[in-house]
Structure 1
């Protein structure tokens, strides 16, 4: 069952195109949904992380490529909806008036 689920996500194939040697695609899909709902995948992932950490095989590397990280339009200084603020009125100077 785990091999069928891994194959599906590794290849990106639709569930209905799962090779027959994995068994029923409906069974694999239903099992995936059940395990996701009841927290089984989280438990498996946590156990695998703990085992890798205990064996010293865990090495975290985090890299963020700024070419794909974008701010939301409101965070980027885009104009808010609504009327534009009125421009500041200019005040007459104290100098002589021009005719």
Structure 2
């Protein structure tokens, strides 16, 4: 059986490469709205961060998405991102890697 190529993406907080499945995609659309892209298919400019609460908290502290998307991002979004990452991390620990 042929081995499949694993798509890699760069975490914008740590600048490390990870498999795409271990990251969360955040999207800025044409109206400059920022959202979490759970499907990975939303249209717009995307940036990735790791599925780790510490990385999400570091992103909030450094205002990473403000710099990446060149707009001011509300603190509510960062809090929502931390909550989402925490939920996904707990889910991975309970159910393993399978989505």
Q: TM-score range by the shorter chain?
A: under 0.3
Give the alignment's TM-score, normalised by structure 1.
0.26
Larger Rg: 1
More helix by percentage: 1
More strand by percentage: 2
Give the alignment's TM-score, normalised by structure 2.
0.26
